[in-house]
């Protein structure tokens, strides 16, 4: 299983992917480090993202946790560093510790994940370096327009996680998506990824299937019309598939 994991990551890098999204909470940072080395892609071409785990936030182990991540990844800087969740009563302190590492030159871009508007407002009140990116759940069943607008107004780029809604049946069977996919001779998933990109969102997609890894990056040879983007926008039913940061158990995540 571990070999497949490394090989898939190498395959993706060798087929044009340059952003790796990871978290210390996922537990296998050393495999990402292995894949980066094995790919022979120059380190400076790869955007490595990793995140502060909730357990490190609870124990205040931000600085040590960061250096452990760098060691496991086998790198001397992290491109994009975020906290994984805005853990209540911890995340502002966590962000300040992350800022110190940024100011010391170990991090190129500071980001956050799973922040609602109120979390961002609290961070913006106390930070010296505003977050450049907020990563949260976005897909056609859950378009998150108000939060995206808030981020974009504050010059915070949006990364969409679970961008395909984990291939949810309600999207695979959706008539609008089927029709648009047919028109461009693309898959529904490619249409969804293109919808993200044309909405100014960075989709963070996951696949362990080699064909789908290639499919998911083969979305730059067609352009959706404004009307098609609006039709996909209107699929929204506010269906959140992952955890709500205002209503979850951070100790279990």
Ligand X SMILES: NC(=O)c1ccc[n+]([C@@H]2O[C@H](COP(=O)([O-])OP(=O)(O)OC[C@H]3O[C@@H](n4cnc5c(N)ncnc54)[C@H](OP(=O)(O)O)[C@@H]3O)[C@@H](O)[C@H]2O)c1
Q: Which parts of this chain interact with ligand X (CB under 6 A)?
A: 21, 84, 113-114, 135, 161-167, 187, 189, 204-209, 212, 215-216, 242
Structure tokens at 205: 């997609």
Query: Of 98, 109, 29, 36, which Cα lies nearest the Cα of 68?
Result: 29
Helix (H) or strand (E) holding 81: strand 78-83
Helix or strand or coil: residue 2? helix
- Count of helices and strands (H, E) across the chain: 12, 7
Closest contact distance (angstroms) between CB of 187 and ligand X is 6
Angle between helix axes 2-14 and 210-217 (nearest 10 degrees) is 30
> CB-wise, 227 or 249, nearer to ligand X?
249
Distance, in Å, from the CA atom of 144 to the CA atom of 36, rounded to the nearest integer, reads 33
Closest contact distance (angstroms) between CB of 204 and ligand X is 4
> CB-wise, 68 or 207, nearer to ligand X?
207
> CB-wise, 211 or 226, nearer to ligand X?
211
DSSP 50: E
Closest contact distance (angstroms) between CB of 141 and ligand X is 11
Q: Using the structure block, give the residue that is written with the tokens 């990551």.
A: 9
> CB-wise, 72 or 84, nearer to ligand X?
84
26 is catalytic: yes
> CB-wise, 128 or 247, nearer to ligand X?
247
Distance, in Å, from the CA atom of 246 to the CA atom of 223, rounded to the nearest integer, reads 36
Instruction: Note the residue count of the chain.
Output: 253
Name the active-site residue from 17, 22, 26, 81: 26
Largest Cα separation within the chain, whole Å, is: 53
Tell me which residues are annotated as active site.
26
């Amino acid at each position: 299983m571990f070999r497949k994991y490394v090989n898939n990551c190498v395959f993706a890098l060798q087929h044009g992917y340059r952003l790796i999204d990871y978290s210390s909470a996922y537990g296998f940072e050393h495999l990402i480090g292995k894949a980066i080395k094995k790919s022979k892609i120059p380190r400076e071409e790869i955007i490595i993202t990793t995140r502060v785990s909730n357990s490190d936030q609870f124990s205040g182990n931000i600085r040590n946790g960061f250096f452990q991540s760098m060691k496991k990844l086998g790198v001397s800087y992290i491109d994009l560093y975020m906290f994984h969740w805005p853990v209540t009563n911890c995340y502002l302190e966590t962000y300040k510790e992350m800022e110190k590492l940024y100011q010391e030159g170990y991090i190129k871009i500071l980001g956050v994940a799973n922040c609602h508007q109120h979390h961002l407002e609290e961070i913006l009140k106390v930070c010296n370096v505003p977050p450049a990116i907020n990563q949260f759940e976005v897909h056609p069943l859950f378009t998150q327009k108000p939060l995206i607008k808030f981020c974009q107004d504050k010059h915070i780029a949006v990364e969409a996680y679970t961008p395909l809604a984990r291939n949810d049946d309600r999207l695979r069977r959706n008539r609008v998506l089927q029709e648009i996919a047919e028109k461009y001779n693309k898959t529904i998933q490619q249409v969804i990824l293109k919808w993200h990109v044309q909405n100014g969102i960075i989709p963070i997609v996951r696949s362990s299937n080699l064909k789908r890894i290639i499919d998911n990056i083969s979305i730059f040879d067609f352009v959706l019309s404004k009307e098609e983007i609006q039709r996909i926008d209107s699929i929204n039913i506010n269906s959140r598939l992952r955890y709500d940061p205002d209503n979850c158990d951070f100790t279990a995540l």
